[in-house]
Structures are given as C-alpha cells and as structure tokens.
Amino acid sequence: MKKIAKFLLSAVKTRLGFILTLLMIYWLKTIWAYYADFSLDIGNAYQALLSIMNPIPLGLLLMGLSLYIKNTKAFYTVSLLIYTLLNILLIANAIYFREFSDFITVSAVFASSKTSAGLGDAAINLLRPWDVIYIIDYLVLIFLLITKRFSFDQRPFNKRASFAVSALSGLLFSLNLFLAEIDRPELLTRGFSNVYIVRAIGLPAFSAYSANQTYQAQKVRSEATADELKTVKAYVKKHYAAPNAEYYGAGKGKNVIILHLESFQQFLLDYKLKVDGKEYEVTPFLNSIYHSQDTFAFSNFFHQVKAGKTSDAETLLETSLFGLDQGSFFVQYGGDNTQQAAPHILSETNQYTSAVFHGNTGTFWNRNNVYKQLGYNYFFDQSYMSKSTKDNSFQYGLNDKIMFADSIKYLEHMQQPFYTKFITVSNHYPYQSLSGDETGFPLAQTKDETINGYFATANYLDAAIKDFFDYLKATGLYDNSIIVMYGDHYGISNSRNTDLAELLGKDPQTWTDYDNAMLQRVPYMIHVPGNGKGFISSTYGGEVDALPTLLHILGIDSSKYVELGQDLLSPQNSQTVAFRTEDNYVTPTYTSYNDHLYDTKTGTEITNPDATTTEKVKAIQTAVKEQLKMSDEVQTGDLLRFDESSGLKPIDTSQFSYANSLDAMKKIEKDLGDKSTSLYSKNGNQSTQDLYKSPSYKELYGSSSTTTKSSSK
C-alpha cells in the first residue's frame, strides 16, 4: 500500500503524471456517478463498455490542453481549473438527476433562470452523505500541499508530446463516436434520449451537443416575430373545415382514452395470416372495433412522420402540427416551445385531468420535459410500473399487457373527466418481444425475420387492448369514455416491402412506389360507446387531421387554435395528405411518392401528364409545401408564444411534477371528499384492480401453438 502511494506520488510529480492522475480520478468519479447516481439503462455488455470508456477521450483532450503551457504556475492553475469545471459538470448533473431523472440541458438552464424550476434551494435537500466522494480528491490535494508532500514540476512539457496527447485523445474520441454509432445508428441526429447520449459519449460531449442544439434553435427563435404568426393564422382560418353537425359533440364531456398502437399499419386490420393452409385472424378485437357501429374509422388515414417516429406522431396527433424534417420535434423544441395541445386545451375548456402511461423510461424522446409543455398533469413511466425483467419487457419497455395492468392503480385515482394516453411498445421493431406463455401465434414464413414476427406482436397488442376494454366495461368507465386508437407509423419499412408483397397477395416483381405509399396507411378510430352513428370513412387524411376531428367530436370549437389539419368528418375537408418527405403526397386522385406520380384509384403510374394533370398536380404540390412550411415556421420560431387569442393560459412547467403522483392524486381525492369524481371514489373507495383480467396466449389458446388457434371469422 505504502509502495503504491509512493509510486503514485512520484508519478504525480511530473506534469504528464499529474494530468494522468487527474484523469484517472475524474474517470473513477464519473464511473461512480454513472452507477450510483444516474440510471443509464445499460442493456448489454457493449453499452457498459462504452460507458466505461467514454470519460477518457474528452477528459484527456481537455486537461491535456494545459500541457502546452510553459509557465509552472499557469500550468497547474489551468489544469486544475479544467479539472474543476469537469467536476462541477459531473456533480451538478448527479444532483440534478436525483430530482429530474434526466441530465442538465442548456435549454433547461435557460428555462430555470426564467421560471426558477431549477435546483435552487432544493439542491441542499438532494445532497447525500456519500457525495463526499466527489470532493475527497480536493481534500487530499490540500493536505498534500499543506504538508509540502507535493512538489511542482518546473520543466515545461515537450510541445510535440503535448500534441501527441491531443492527437491521441482526438483519435479516442472518434473511436468512441464510431462505436456509439454502431450501438445506436443516428444517435445524435435523432436524439432519442439524453440518457442514451450520455451512456454512449459521456457528459461533456452531451453538454456540448445540447449547447449546440439550443444555440441553433435559439438563433431562429430569436429572429421570429409576431407578424409571422399572423400569416400562419390567416392560413389556418382559410383552411378551417367547419364541423359536421351530425357528429359535433358526440362525445361531449366524456373521458378520452388514447391508445397509441405502436408501428401498427392499416393492412393488419381484417388481415388473416395463412400458415400451413390455415388462416389466423391477427387482430380480432381491433377488427370488431373497426367495424363497430360506435366507431368512426378511417380507411385512408396516413402517418406523416419522418425520423422523429413515435414522438412526431404524438406531436401531430395532439397539436395538429407536424414534426420536423430532420430529427424529432420532441427532442429539439418540444421541451421549450409553447404549444396548444389536447391535454391543455381540454383542461382549460372543460377541466379535464390528464396523464400518459408508458412502459419505457420517461426520458426517451425527451417525454419527461415535453409532456409538461403539452399540459399533462401526470406521466406514469416505467418507474411507476413493474421492475423490468427479461421475461416481461424488451429494449423499448414493458410488454403491453403489463403496462396496462400496472396503469390501473393510477388510472382509478384520476379525477374525471380525464384525458389519458397509453403508449404501447410490444409491437415495435424487431417484433421479437414475446416470450414464455405469450408465444404461440404463428410466425409468417417469409425470408425476413422482421416481417415474420410482426403478426404475432400485433396479435399480442390486440389481446392487450381487449383486456383493457374488458376492464373499462367491468368498471363502467366504458360508458363514460370515448376511446381513440391510432397507428403511429409503419412497422415494416419500405426496404422490406417486396418481401411482404406476397403476404398481401401482390407480386414482388411488379411492386411499385405506389404500393409503398399505400402501405403508409395507419388506423385512426374514434370509438364512442352507444353512439351508433359510426362508419368507416374513406376520406383521405393524415395524422395532422386527428386533433380537429377529435375536438369536434368532443364539442369543442377548434377554430381558436393554430391547427394545420382539418376535421376528417367535415364535408369541407380537402383530402390532401402531405408526407413529411419533400414532394410526397396522396390525394383521392393523385399519389406522388419518390419522384413517381400515380393515379390513386388504379395505382397506374402517370409518366406523361397532360396539361390539366400538370396543373392539378402543381396546385397540390403548392398546397402541401405551404402546409409544411407553416408548420416549420411555427415549430422552429416558437410562434405560438405570440398567440394571444387562443384563450389558453401559458403553461408554467415548474408547476408540474411527475414524482410521487399517486400521493398527489390521493390527496386531491381526500380534499375533494364527496365531490371526488375518480373511479376509486365512485366505487366506494374500493380499488378496481381485481377487475383487470389479462389471460396469456397459452391460457386462451392452450399450449400447442399454431394448431390450436383458428380464425374467428
């Protein structure tokens, strides 16, 4: 021990040794923070390795800069300064994470100075005794200096060697980035989650990334003016589609339950998978909803997202604005921008309480921040649900049946009317989330594993939805609620579609971009129990049209808000669907996809358009471009902050906390006493959890898989 101390002390006495010692201590402290303070969701050895290596490259690069300094005093001052800054970043994040389960972003720092939502006084309460670890090195250094055991190396470090240190650390950083990209392609362009970025490339790199994001966003934002909003509002007014009186208010005052059907494409509805001469109905329950007299369903409803996938679908569905052309709106703007979202609108107009239920970590897609801006009162993420294990979850979170079951104990305490969203995940690429008693639905038999699994996970999702509906019926919530279901985006990507072709009764040889375009259809269904006027509409529409449609069903005037979509039940709907990709669109007459133009009815390509076609197509292109441009201006300029006529009070995100929500809801119940409208209160203060039944696939269909389940239609 003594020998080691002696060796270390002599090593520390050279300038390089000093820097390397600081680097080692910083590395140890970072690893400590990773495992003791942050939850990095490390899922495999590769990610663990990345997290272990990532403090080194930038640490060495930054501290190594001081090696260029000749003057002894300046060298030690600068190296210690850089070291201290790195430490401050680490410690501040460690403390911040305890409260917010997220890392400090530059935009959060700005926001906290505006709203005092930051650490402030609360920081003291967040300190733990073992935080001494973070400063023990300073105590040792002071001790060494006082007892004169530390001596300063007066010799300047060789210039070339300093350069070698910089070059080496630069190389290591590139390697780190490269390995990170392998673990998660498009990590930095799509954003996903702050946790993923820190896990892959470390804190200092994340902070630089976040600073750059904020800088880019701020630049555009600061130049935007209220005049730009005027143009957008004129557009909105001109495109407003007045509600159809027949359906306006059909769901007035009822609870709203949104079921996000992950990666669910329209073709799954009514689909029967043929395996070994037998037919298997993939989604029997959703099919019954699709055809129900109580459902307003849409057979030509398209997703409109690009790289922001689920998160941009959420933006479209709940704000009637598009996501971004690059990356995700949630990640880049959602945590800061003023928005006019469904939960906020319903809370202000009809005193709804709102919540999201999702079996993945709350930081994914920056949801923990964005949901506050959308006006969500509660966000029950994975931390509120069962511990995830190999059997009950996969990389995107808890299996759907578990997620629904675990939500009940919170849902029943929500004041009614409520607006809730359940985000499922099991039917997510790579469609391999099922195990144990949930397996048994046959796999398709193409040469593509991804396609083969897609039907079984969709069938599982269908069963989970049915369990949830059964619970709603058993508790009576069903009669007080309307249930909205939508597919967020494709599940099978275009590159796989030729392998899918045969299952759809098509010839892969003659597969075209028209077929690709048509496969971007996803379900949109509004189920209004007892309504009886439902039907399957073939109106062409997209996710941007969902919110005005829903608001009108709820009897809420949508014309006050900046919504770019049109009510799909309105006869004034223009039926022009813009894809988020430049120049791609669908209308009832023309479809343009990847530079090919088609007749939407027949699917035939139009190679030599006549003059009238050219003119019509031009008009569609202009309309599509204009709609996307309006959206981009609102989103990147944060234009809704200028809107004074929506009647919505601005949201103060510091008033929202997603911690200890069950206690908060119980307190509200108690304070309201007899006036409490939660299901729990209405049920004589009895829980309804035992009314939730969720039989496994094996329990329903027996243990021998493919032979026991036959088509129910």
Residues of span 355-384 touching ligand GP9 by CB under 6 A: 360, 364
Between 236 and 313, whose beta carbon lies closer to ligand GP9?
313
User: In angstroms, what is the minimal distance from the CB of 323 to ligand GP9?
Assistant: 10
Decide: is 328 part of the binding site for Mn ion (CB under 5 A).
no
Report how far Cα 130 is from the mean position of its chain's Cα atoms. Answer: 34
Burial class, 705, CB count within 10 angstroms (exposed 0-12 / middle 13-18 / buried 19+): middle
Do 705 and 438 meet the contact criterion of CB atoms below 8 Å apart? no
As given in the structure block, the two tokens for residue 69 are: 């300094």
User: In angstroms, what is the minimal distance from the CB of 310 to Mn ion?
Assistant: 3
In angstroms, rounded to a whole number, what is the distance separating the alpha carbons of residues 272 and 704? 20
Give a three-class secondary structure readout of 348-359: HHHCCEEEEEEC
Is 439 annotated as a binding-site member? no
State how beta strands 585-586 and 577-578 pair.
antiparallel
Size of the site for ligand GP9 (CB under 6 A): 9
Decide: is 332 part of the binding site for ligand GP9 (CB under 6 A).
no
Between 60 and 313, whose beta carbon lies closer to ligand GP9?
313
- How far apart, in Å, are the Cα atoms of 96 and each of 119, 195, 290, 573? 7, 13, 46, 48
Q: Is 77 marked active-site? A: no
* DSSP label at residue 496: G
Element (H, E) at 299: strand 295-302
In angstroms, rounded to a whole number, what is the distance separating the alpha carbons of residues 396 and 199? 16
Do 47 and 199 meet the contact criterion of CB atoms below 8 Å apart? yes
State how beta strands 353-358 and 418-423 pair.
parallel
Task: Choose the one of Mn ion, ligand GP9, none that binds residue 360, judging by a C-beta under 5 to 8 angstroms depending on kind.
Answer: ligand GP9
As given in the structure block, the two tokens for residue 642 are: 């200028």
Is 344 annotated as a binding-site member? no
Cα–Cα nearest to 549, from 580, 525, 577: 525
Main-chain dihedrals φ then ψ at residue 500, nearest 5 degrees: -80, -25
In this chain, which residue has its C-beta nearest to Mn ion?
Answer: 310
Partner residues linked to 248 by β-bridges: none
In angstroms, rounded to a whole number, what is the distance separating the alpha carbons of residues 111 and 109? 5
> Binding mask 479-508 vs Mn ion (x if CB under 5 A, - otherwise)?
---------x--------------------
> Binding mask 305-324 vs ligand GP9 (x if CB under 6 A, - otherwise)?
----xx--------------
Is 14 annotated as a binding-site member? no
Decide: is 329 part of the binding site for ligand GP9 (CB under 6 A).
no
Contacts of residue 127, defined as CB under 8 A and 6 or more positions apart, other chains included, come to 95
Task: Choose the one of Mn ion, ligand GP9, none that binds residue 364, judging by a C-beta under 5 to 8 angstroms depending on kind.
Answer: ligand GP9
Residues of span 384-423 touching ligand GP9 by CB under 6 A: 396-397, 423
Is 489 annotated as a binding-site member? yes
Decide: is 264 part of the binding site for ligand GP9 (CB under 6 A).
no
| From 310, 361, 424, 549, the catalytic residue | 310
Cα–Cα nearest to 327, from 187, 477, 204: 187
In this chain, which residue has its C-beta nearest to ligand GP9?
Answer: 309
Dihedral sign of CA atoms 593, 595, 601, 605 in order: negative
Decide: is 653 part of the binding site for ligand GP9 (CB under 6 A).
no
> Of 86, 95, 374, 425, which lies in the binding site for ligand GP9, with binding defined by CB under 6 A?
425
> Binding mask 279-318 vs Mn ion (x if CB under 5 A, - otherwise)?
------------------------------xx--------
Task: Choose the one of ligand GP9, Mn ion, none that binds residue 396, judging by a C-beta under 5 to 8 angstroms depending on kind.
Answer: ligand GP9
In angstroms, rounded to a whole number, what is the distance separating the alpha carbons of residues 153 and 272? 77
What's at 588, amino acid-wise? P
Is 633 annotated as a binding-site member? no
Between 173 and 394, whose beta carbon lies closer to ligand GP9?
394
Task: Choose the one of Mn ion, ligand GP9, none that binds residue 425, judging by a C-beta under 5 to 8 angstroms depending on kind.
Answer: ligand GP9
Between 484 and 554, whose beta carbon lies closer to ligand GP9?
484
Q: Tell me which residues touch ligand GP9 (CB under 6 A).
A: 309-310, 360, 364, 396-397, 423, 425, 428
Catalytic residue set: 310
Binding residues for substrate: 428
- Binding-site residues for Mn(2+): 262, 310, 488-489
Q: Residues interacting with Mn ion, by CB under 5 A? A: 309-310, 488
